Amino acid sequence: MGALRRFDRDLLVLAAGVLVLIPVPLFLSGFLLEVAIQTLLFGLLGVAWNLMGGFAGQFSFGHAAFFGIGAYATAVAVTDYGLSPWVGMLLGAALAAAFGVLVGFLSFRYGLKGVFFALATFAFAEMLRLISRSLEAVNAARGYNIPIRSGNPWLTLQFPQGSPNYYYVILALLALSLLAVILLMRSRAGTFILSIRENEDAAAALGVNPMRYKLLAVALSAALTAVGGAFYVQYFFFIDPELAFGASVSIQILLPAIVGGIGTTWGPVVGSLIITVLGQGSTALVRTPPPFLEALQGVSGLDVAIYGALIVLVVLFLPRGVFGTLRERLGAA
Amino acid sequence: MAFKGRKVSGRSLALLGLGIAALLVLVWGGDALSWARDNRVVLVQALVTGLLLGGVYSLVSMGLTLIFGVLDILNFAHGAFMALAMYASFVLVANAGFDPYLSLLVSVPLLFVLGVLVQRVLLARVMDQPHENQLLLTFGLALLIENALLMVFTATPRTVEFPYAQTGIPLGFATVRGPLDVFGAVADLPRVIAFLGSLVIAGGLFYLLRRTSLGTAIRAVAENPDGAAMVGIDVRRMHMIAFGLGTACVAAAGTLVLPFLSLQPTTGEQFNVIAFVVVVLGGLGNVVGALVGGILIGLVQELGGAFVPGVDKLFFVFVVFVLTLLLRPQGLFGGKP
């Protein structure tokens, strides 16, 4: 029953973590607050990806599909129909879950595994990108600018620039996502999901329906990813086909889990912290370098090159991710 | 199993054909046939362009599938290597006045050596790790290469002039002047050269794999690494050579398309994506499958674009991709299990 205790401990850690993180905006502002918000956002996306790619063992290379559906649903709801972004967020989550179930059903039905499944998810995301780029009904390649709306800012999810409220919203969303994942994984269904990952044939022989529980993980993962997409639109006020469905979005979503530790509860959050700080740090370095590195000022490409080198180094030296390696070293199960 | 020629399964081809036909009928209804009658020239042009481009896709994909077949690695840096080779050729042409086709003699060996080094220094360390780690490593490498190119050459599109546009190509008995006329369609000379060059290099690769002892050793490693090691084949060395050869293929393809494509650090990305599609279509690890698949995808892309203008041509490629993945994930010709 070690697994049960582990997830109970996770609930305590979650509660303590949220309490510690609530006062953070008192100490951070401007650029650092932005970094904190993006850390939480990519933590949320990483947690969502990890449910499917880590716990359920279905490596997705196309989570941009779900992210983009959430983002576009929100943009369309707010811009074209004047609805609240919260409505768009729920719609997007439902749509993404449905799309995930469709993609998952088709893929699992035909027995796609490993590399083939990853390529299938990639292909579906790319198709959504190409469709949204040609479809005039969603502004084709121009994308959406979110209009500034009056009214209760908590309903329109629009706060003045630099407002700590964005931080509280994404912190709450991340905490709820973690709560959902922890509760799922300590439930009977969670045990089934893990058993299917470890040995699908054995699980099926014992009466577990692999299709049902794999699809459950995919649907929840897709819905949570869409929530992240909806927040992204409201935070950056802009979305277009590349930012929503591009292959680099899929990568950004899976990186926190990989860097932090795939299939661990806290790995994606730890990974997001590392990735976001390093990514934003190198961007800031190029924008305003210290005097002795002045030659780097405005050299485009340097920040992403550093990012690429970082990925290579993590894979070479921390193949189980930061959190996974730490846990192994400390010997805690 | 990887490099055995297999018979094309009639059922799979029929299924694929039906899928494409159903899609076209859905989109276009009965108008398609009369449209094809009225637009014979457009159709023939799409066939010619698709075939010529497909040959280049074949060469890119043969490199990718060789790497997958031997090393079991899905290489996301393939397109970045292509861009690197193209910039190497571009520098030679723009600064040293090289003939672009002569620069193959530099770009191909250069990328072969680079591929060998990347395999030896980076990928050899993660060979026993899960697939996703290898995939991520090559992806990080692609980001590194593309953005290093961006830092050095900026994002300004670069072009290389086709050197024989005015003079034509002297073949001894006659001088070929472009563009060629193929059943009323136009075939630009640089595209014809890229197509023929790709086929020649593909033939060379095929000869190497099938008729030399080195090729036999590479195929043995692809088939059964443990068995190969047991009969005295240096598996690590074959891994390095296979990765180098795969990279050399994409380098050759890059240099060959340089005279008719504008060059940016991200130019290779689209070829990388298309090569994934081709490699799955032809069967992962199947070199002959990649050759045929490349031409098929070239045709699908151009014919789809001609039938349904206004939609990105790549869309049709992905439709075929998804159909293949769902109906026949082992590819048309079978591949590694």
| Per-residue pLDDT tens digits for A134-157 | 888 888 889 999 988 888 888 888
- Rounded to the nearest angstrom, the minimum Cα separation between B138 and chain A is 8
For the stretch B37-85, pLDDT in tens is: 777 788 889 999 999 999 999 999 999 999 999 998 889 999 999 999 9
Which class in CATH covers the domain with range A1-244?
mainly alpha
CB contact under 8 A, A308 and B315: no
Chain B residue with minimal CA distance to A106? B326
Tokens 């889990």 found at = A257
What pLDDT, on a 0 to 100 scale, did the predictor assign at position A115? 80
Phi first, then psi: give them for residue A239, nearest 5 degrees. -150, 145
Q: What is the mean predicted confidence (pLDDT) over A71-95?
A: 95
Q: Which amino acid is at B154?
A: T
Query: End-to-end distance of chain B based on CA atoms, in angstroms?
Result: 8
CB contact under 8 A, A126 and B276: no
Residues of B in contact with A118 (CB under 8 A): 132, 135
Evaluate if residue A318 carries a pLDDT over 90. no
What pLDDT score was predicted for residue B229? 93
All residues of chain A having their beta carbon less than 8 Å from the beta carbon of residue B315 are 127, 130-131, 134
pLDDT for res A56: 94
State the sign of the Cα–Cα–Cα–Cα dihedral A129, A134, A138, A139.
Answer: positive
Chosen for mutation from A126, A129, A313 (greatest number of chain B CBs closer than 10 Å) is: A126
User: A151 φ, ψ to 5°?
Assistant: 110, 180
Neighbours of B94 (CB within 10 A): 13
| Alpha carbons B278 and B271: distance in angstroms, whole number | 10
Question: Across the interface, which of B74, B141, B280 has its CB nearest the CB of A308?
Answer: B141
Does A21 have pLDDT greater than 90? Answer: yes
Q: Where are the alpha helices (DSSP H) in chain B?
A: 10-28, 31-38, 40-71, 78-96, 104-121, 131-153, 189-211, 213-223, 225-230, 235-257, 267-282, 287-307, 314-327
The CA distance from B203 to the nearest CA of chain A, in Å, is 28
HSE-up (13 A, CA, CB side) for residue A219: 14
Q: What are the residue boundaries of the structural domains of chain A, listed by start?
A: 1-244
What are residue B193's DSSP bridge partners?
none
Q: Is-contact A322 A333, C-beta < 8 A?
A: no
Distance from first CA to last CA of chain A, Å, rounded? 12
A144-145 vs A238-239, strand pairing mode: antiparallel
What is the per-residue pLDDT across B172-223, written as a single tens digit (0 to 9) for each?
Answer: 777 777 778 877 788 889 999 999 999 999 999 999 999 999 999 999 999 9
Who contacts B128 (Cβ-Cβ below 8 Å, separation ≥6)?
none
**Chain A residues in contact with B265 (beta carbon < 8 A):** 301
The reported pLDDT for the residue numbered B181 is: 80
Chain pair A-B, CB pairs under 8 angstroms: 124
* pLDDT number for residue B4: 41
For the packed helices A30-50 and A247-260, what is the interaxial angle rounded to 10 degrees? Answer: 90
Which tens digit of pLDDT belongs to each residue from B256-284?
Answer: 999 999 999 999 999 999 999 999 899 88
Instruction: Please say if the pLDDT value at position A244 is more than 70.
Output: yes
Over pLDDT 70: what percentage of chain A?
97
Q: How confident is the model at residue A1 (pLDDT cuts 50, 70, 90)?
A: very low
- Tell me the chain B residues in contact with residue A52 when contact means C-beta distances shorter than 8 Å: none
Nearest chain B Cα to A318, which residue? B133
Give the model's confidence band at B7: pLDDT under 50 very low, under 70 low, under 90 confident, else very high.
very low
Average pLDDT over chain A reads: 89
Q: Model confidence at B32, in pLDDT bands (50, 70, 90)?
A: low
Under the banding of pLDDT at 50, 70 and 90, the label for residue B29 is: low
Q: Do A127 and B126 touch (CB under 8 A)?
A: no
Q: Is B337's pLDDT higher than 50?
A: no
Q: A254 is written with which tokens?
A: 């899976």
Q: What is the pLDDT of residue B335?
A: 61
In this prediction, residue B305 carries a pLDDT of 86
Quote the pLDDT of residue A161: 79
Q: Establish if A137 touches chain B: CB-CB under 8 angstroms.
A: no
Task: Supply the pLDDT for residue B2.
Answer: 43
What pLDDT does residue A305 have?
A: 87
- The Cα of A19 is separated from the nearest Cα of chain B by a number of Å equal to 35
A83 touches chain B (CB under 8 A): no
Q: Residue B16: what pLDDT?
A: 76
Cα A12–chain centre separation: 23
Determine which helix (DSSP H) or strand (DSSP E) holds A33, and give its type and residue range: helix A30-50
Mean pLDDT check: name the lowest of A56-70, B1-15, B164-178.
Answer: B1-15
From residue A205, give the alpha-carbon distance in Å to each of A111, A212, A262. 17, 15, 27
Chain B (141-160) residues lying within 8 Å, Cβ to Cβ, of chain A: 141-151, 154-155
Give B6's pLDDT tier (boundaries 50, 70, 90).
Answer: very low
Q: Lowest mean pLDDT of A270-279, A284-293, B248-257, B261-270, name the range.
A: A284-293
